Amino acid sequence: MSADPLLRTDASPSGERSVPDPHRWLEEVSGDEALAWVRARNDEAHAALGGGDLDATEAALREVLDSDDRIPDVSRIGDHLYNFWRDTEHERGLWRRTSLDSYRTDDPRWETVLDLDELAAAEDESWVWHGASVLRPAPEQLAAGEPWRRALVDLSPGGSDADVTREFDLVEKRFVPASEGGFHRPLAKGGLSWADEDTVYVFTDFGPGTTTPSGYPRIVKLWRRGTPLEDARTVYEGTDEDMYIMGRRSRTPGFERDVVRRSIAFYRSETYLVNAVGTPEQELVRIDAPESAEVGLHREWLLVELREDWTVAGRTYAGGSLLAAAADDFLAGSRDLTVLFAPTPSTSLVGATWTRHHLVLNVLDDVKNELHVLTPPDLEAGADTADGWVRSELPVDGELLTVGVRAVSPVDSDDVWVTSSGYLSPSTLALATVVGPGTDPAAPEPLKSAPAFFDASGMVAEQHFATSDDGTRVPYFVVGAAELVRPSDPAAPGAAPTLLYGYGGFEIPLLPGYSGTAGRAWLARGGVHVVANIRGGGEYGPRWHQAALRENRHRAYEDLAAVARDLVARGITTHEHLGVQGGSNGGLLAGNMLTQYPDLFGAVVIQVPLLDMQRYSHLLAGASWVAEYGDPDVPEDWEFLQTFSPYHLFDADREYPPVLLTTSTKDDRVHPGHARKMAAKMLAAGQDVTYYENIEGGHGGAANNAQAAHMSALAWTFLRARLA
């Protein structure tokens, strides 16, 4: 047998030879033969979809993505508000800053901190911004008026998950070279995080045997300025089977803590406090919470968010609950826990944000937002945990809006950024101050409002429920012209081109939000847009997610099929005019709609997808998703995995709706071989398949606004052509 790792045959999980895979060679991401195949398919896609409609759509979408009227998303760092911005003139983007007073104006004065286009040109590298972390100065430094100076900037070549980290000086606005002691992490999956101004936590690829099966870091070390990376001192080393290891330091004055997080798998982790870090006396103390729980620390408080029921100290707490305890008491053995949130059949917790003195809970009730403020007892002032947490409200206005709350600075402020967005309501940003009970809150200060990028007059957004095969009620949102969304005679089949979008995985909820691109390319041109809140997502908390894990994955697909049928039953559309779209895990969803429910759809768009569920765990980051899907190398798991593996479910003798498959060569999370092999298999069977692969872009599919507009325009043009 050949030792070629791209051998064009497959083996079953039991080790027996199975049906040969003639397309396995397409897994060679940068192979000459594979890329020649990609270029040929891209040419065919442009030949099929190119022309005036594609060009006009792309131009319209580019206007939205590059608009100067978009709301600049900001973070407060010292006396400045920082923002990362892309537009026509700055394709790769600017990291820039302004003051709050200037930001309040219609035309803020921005100071450029780092120009990625200039950097990319100077270094001949297609840098894509991955973010930055800034070191908070020590209290004595802040008291002396010293500026926030030290940043760690993450940059990716072409948009891959693998990136580099380089130290940046915010005062001199330059990278600190290694010759001056600057921290530089070579290209890998991982990162750096600040411990102090001369020390960082480093978790990265240190060489053979130091990464997990998913390619993520297995070891976290403490690295001191001016020393070689190979001399960094190990703080924690995970096992060969772990998913990700990282470390960080909380620098809240008076509550400085070193923390190591060991991700065993998705939904399983351990959190350790590190005492005397980096010394011979170093000690790791595990926080004794369930592996499936999320653990957080803020000042004197410990929060535990449960995914599963937890019985402790004679009491059982329901999965989906949020619990609080005094951190020192908990570490000393007390299990005196306060329930801050407990789920109901219609509610779930989707976010919790600390300010200096309060905790803001973001709750969904049938996928609609509610915000609650909880004020803890002041332990520093001598209060007792038995004094209880006091609840007040942060009002949310508007129908079918998603409201987000983010602390401006949880260390020293009770201010929050409040964003809101709806399917037909452009985004807004306000600044609010959270107050406790007994104090009337001031009205949030409106700061920015995004423009309307399409004419929504006469359009409506509604929520409906479909009934899945097992009787479960599945919510979904419908957006479009009123006469299409509310047909006068539901018994008469509608013909509105309708796009159904879903995800259904990893406990991620799909919430209402404004999309100028979807509005321009679809809604304003007579289309109906539908978003389904199927099981596998997080719309109803962990239980909704867990209902579609592993051998129960079929429930997510049954849910989406139920929504598709309900749209037809309501007279909104017909199956011939109904399309379905999904990306990543949603690409697996769309792939299963294609192979299991082809009669329900007139077109299918599959983006950056998983499709070969026998190979997925051996490709790039795939091993990290075994908790979600199952392990194809375990015969018992393969029994159910093959029932939702589109690559194996495809039947060359069956008729399928037209398909658009897109991916990215630079995607180092979901291997582009999934999309390539599925397209090749379908093309060999004479199916109607359009394939496009962007050379850059990573898992997001695009590295800049121009690429994003092009990729999106291809999808909308394909859908209009197939569903009109």
Q: Which two tokens stand for residue 684?
A: 């060999």
Query: Which regions of the chain are under pLDDT 70?
Result: 1-19, 386, 396, 697-698, 701-702
Q: The sheet that has 528-532: what strands, in order across it?
A: 459-467, 473-481, 528-532, 498-501, 578-583, 603-607, 659-664, 689-694
What are the beta bridge partners of residue 532?
A: 476
| 417 membership: H or E segment, kind and range | strand 415-422
Domains of the chain: 33-61+455-723 (3.40.50.1820), 69-114 (no CATH), 125-286 (2.130.10.120)
Distance from C-alpha of 76 to C-alpha of 157, rounded to nearest angstrom: 27
Kindly compute the dihedral angle of the four CA atoms of residues 619, 623, 624, 627, in this order, to the nearest 10 degrees.
130
149 and 129 Cβ atoms separated by less than 8 Å? no
What are the beta bridge partners of residue 338?
A: 324
The burial of 658, by beta-carbon neighbours within 10 Å (0-12 exposed, 13-18 middle, 19 or more buried), is given as buried
135 and 104 Cβ atoms separated by less than 8 Å? no
What average pLDDT is seen over the chain? 94
- Give the pLDDT score at 443: 84
Give whole-number Cα distances, 519 to 54, 136, 266, 453, in Å.
16, 41, 35, 7
- Give the pLDDT score at 5: 27
Length of the chain in terms of residues written: 724
- Give the pLDDT score at 490: 77
Give whole-number Cα distances, 676 to 582, 583, 706, 711, 714, in Å.
16, 15, 23, 16, 17
Close Cβ partners of 225 (under 8 Å, ≥ 6 residues apart): 181, 183, 198, 199
Positive or negative: CA dihedral 555, 670, 47, 582: positive
Distance from C-alpha of 44 to C-alpha of 345, rounded to nearest angstrom: 49
What are the beta bridge partners of residue 607?
A: 583, 662
In DSSP notation, 295-361 reads: EEEETTEEEEE-SS-EEETTEEE-TT-EEEEEHHHHHTT----EEEE---TTEEEEEEEE-SS-EEE
Three-class HEC string of 197-236: CCEEEEECCCCCCCECCCCCECEEEEEECCCCHHHCEEEE
Distance from C-alpha of 239 to C-alpha of 247, rounded to nearest angstrom: 16
574 and 493 Cβ atoms separated by less than 8 Å? yes
Q: Convert 469-504 to b/e letters by CB count within 10 Å (16 or more is b).
A: eeebebbbbbbbbeebbebeeeeeebebbbbbbbbb
| 3-state secondary structure (DSSP) of residue 461 | strand
Distance from C-alpha of 12 to C-alpha of 615, rounded to nearest angstrom: 10
- Give the pLDDT score at 549: 97
> Rounded to 5 degrees, what angle do the CA atoms 701, 587, 405 make?
70
Q: Which two tokens stand for residue 403?
A: 């409201």
Residue linked to tokens 């949102």 = 477
486 and 517 Cβ atoms separated by less than 8 Å? no
Alpha helix locations (H) across 50-99? 52-66
Number of H helices, E strands in the chain: 16, 39
Chain-centroid distance, C-alpha 562: 26
The burial of 440, by beta-carbon neighbours within 10 Å (0-12 exposed, 13-18 middle, 19 or more buried), is given as exposed
Close Cβ partners of 267 (under 8 Å, ≥ 6 residues apart): 292, 307, 507, 627
Give whole-number Cα distances, 555 to 356, 465, 469, 505, in Å.
42, 16, 8, 11
- Give the pLDDT score at 19: 63
- CA end-to-end span of the chain: 51
Give whole-number Cα distances, 563 to 496, 525, 531, 631, in Å.
16, 23, 9, 29
Q: What are the tens digits of pLDDT across the range 200-254?
A: 999 999 999 999 999 999 999 999 999 999 999 999 999 999 999 999 999 999 9
Distance from C-alpha of 344 to C-alpha of 73, rounded to nearest angstrom: 33
Close Cβ partners of 499 (under 8 Å, ≥ 6 residues apart): 522, 527, 528, 529, 530, 578, 579, 580, 581, 719, 723
Q: What are the tens digits of pLDDT across the range 476-494?
A: 999 999 999 999 887 777 7
Distance from C-alpha of 606 to C-alpha of 687, rounded to nearest angstrom: 15
Active-site residue set: 584, 699
Distance from C-alpha of 446 to C-alpha of 579, rounded to nearest angstrom: 38
In DSSP notation, 243-290 reads: SEEEEEEE--TT--EEEEEEEEETTEEEEEEEESTTSTT-EEEE--S-
**Residue 495 amino acid letter:** A
133 and 151 Cβ atoms separated by less than 8 Å? yes
**Residue 548 amino acid letter:** A
- Give the pLDDT score at 293: 98
Residue 298 backbone phi and psi in degrees, to 5: -145, 115
Q: Which two tokens stand for residue 165?
A: 């980290």
| 3-state secondary structure (DSSP) of residue 165 | strand
Alpha helix locations (H) across 632-688? 635-641, 646-649, 673-684
